[in-house]
Amino acid sequence: MGDLPFWVKALLAGRFVNALGSMAWVFIPLYLVSDRGLDTPEAGTIAAVYGVGIIGGNLVGGSLGDRFGMRRTLAAASLASAVGCALVPVTTTSGLPVVLGLMGLLGGAARPVSFALVTGALPSDQRRQASALMRAVNNAGTVLGPPVGGLVAAYDFTWIFVGDAVASLLMLAVVLGVVPHVERVPVPEGVPRRVLGALRRDPRFVLLLVSVAVVDTAYRWAYTAVPWQLEELGAEPWVYGTTISLNCALIVLLEPYLAHRLRHREAWRLIAAGFLLVGLGWLVVAPAPGIALVLVAVAVVTAGEMLYKPTATATAADRAPEGMHGRYQSLYGAASLGGMVIAPPLAGALLEWGDRRVWIGGALLGMAGAATLTLLWSRLAPTPADALPTADRLDPV
């Protein structure tokens, strides 16, 4: 981390504080039932609007960043998010879907813009480490934030949203006070101006997006099949909470180190290895589902996540044409978020057929992604992005 620019370190600190204070999304369903008096179907419907907003924000955030500048877009999203959080406690129940939808939209937009801001400003050999550190600080905030939010919610839910607003304002202060203003670089002649044109010239990136969408569906078994399986095995809810904390803790402790240690490896090989570990993780559970095996499986899947997610994020930056860093991060984020939509119904349907089939299904998805990437990557036409110097050539381990 010592070789990263000061402003990147400051932004990482800001993202940690922001993640620590961004507790509202965890408690929205509970808030709607206990504080607003809605029944669970109504609460679920309104909460779903927030999720739709996150997906939509992720898709449009990169385009806004490319058009108006990453720093300016992230600052605007932080300010608007703070306003949205402050409005929730004073908004009528009928108006909550609009406010929550906007909150999700702004929160979703901040993700690709943040990653594009950092990875687009750094040389290729620093992007994996920076991506891993950004994921680590987010997960650290996720580990610590919800327990604090639970204590605050027991006193008054209003302070959950106030705290979230303050965290967004602190992020705004970091962006405006520390992140440098960079003039937009003119797009050189011959560089595609539209995303579809860029994708037609880079079939390897299209392959990466498709394989990430497949494997991330399997990865999100951790948030669908795992809690359902644990409940069926008679485990208390805290056991599932422990599995998620295990996931986050491993990322915080190990992902930045792995990204630095493996920086010399070819990106596509590292991503394929991560895909394979996701598949093997769920295969651990398939022979005889049990609580201990589920915990082991989550640890193996987390190891795969630590390999492929920061590397794929950095690869999206490496392959982005000039002027498209934001849109390429949005494309990667959309491929990753697709699993949030596909995994719940698919895992639910497989679980209806039997415990083992759901885990075999997750294993096949992970292994299929690894096999597809391995077999096709070298057969597809390379682009100038493939000629970027690797960290192995710049700084051998």
Structural domain spans, the chain: 6-127+137-177, 195-381
* One-letter amino acid for residue 295 of the chain: L
Q: Tell me phi and psi for residue 248, to 5 degrees.
A: -65, -40
Q: Return the number of other C-beta atoms located less than 10 Å from residue 109's C-beta.
A: 30
* One-letter amino acid for residue 373 of the chain: L
Distance between CA atoms of residues 309 and 313, nearest Å:
6
For residue 380, CA distances in Å to 207, 212, 234, 316, 361 come to 9, 17, 48, 17, 28
User: pLDDT value at position 396?
Assistant: 24
Q: Is residue 183 exposed (0-12), middle (13-18) or buried (19+ Cβ within 10 Å)?
A: exposed
Contact assessment for residue 112 and residue 326, using Cβ atoms and an 8 Å cutoff: yes
Grouped pLDDT means (10 residues each) for the chain, 397 residues: 82 87 70 82 79 83 88 90 89 90 84 88 86 87 70 76 89 92 59 76 94 93 84 81 80 89 90 97 91 92 94 91 87 84 83 85 96 93 62 30
User: Hey, do 6-127+137-177 and 195-381 end up sharing a CATH topology, with the first three levels equal?
Assistant: yes
Residue with tokens 């997960």: 139
- Global confidence as pTM: 0.79
Contact assessment for residue 164 and residue 87, using Cβ atoms and an 8 Å cutoff: no
195-381, what's its fold? Answer: Growth Hormone; Chain: A; (1.20.1250)
Q: Tell me phi and psi for residue 22, to 5 degrees.
A: -85, 75
What six digits make up the tokens of 215? 């494997």
The CA-based dihedral angle spanning residues 373, 375, 379, 381, taken in that order and rounded to the nearest 10 degrees: 0
6-127+137-177, what's its fold? Answer: Growth Hormone; Chain: A; (1.20.1250)
